[in-house]
Amino acid sequence: MGEARRRSKNDLGNQNPKNKHQVGKNDSPRIIDWLPLTVKQRNKFLEITVQGGWIGIGLLAVIWIVVRIVGPAAGWWVPADLH
């Protein structure tokens, strides 16, 4: 029995050394053929920026509460519109 038949019979597939370095290669398709950005990278970028946006909104709310409520209540300052 030839090597190729034995491999196909045992479901070993093509174990050519040329294909071994491509096992970990990113299989995600590119957004545009000439642009080196993949769909996975785009999705990760969107995920990170949306999460960063929500963190920014939360920080803005905390700062606003400190400036409008906590600071004046603690006597640290008086808001200009209350003079």
* pLDDT for position 82: 78
Q: Residue 33 above 80 pLDDT?
A: yes
Q: Give the model's pLDDT for residue 74.
A: 96
For the chain, give every domain's residue range: 3-82
Q: Structure tokens of 30?
A: 């590119």
**30 to each of 27, 39, 46, 75, 83, how far by Cα in Å?**
9, 6, 16, 57, 59
pTM of the complete model: 0.61
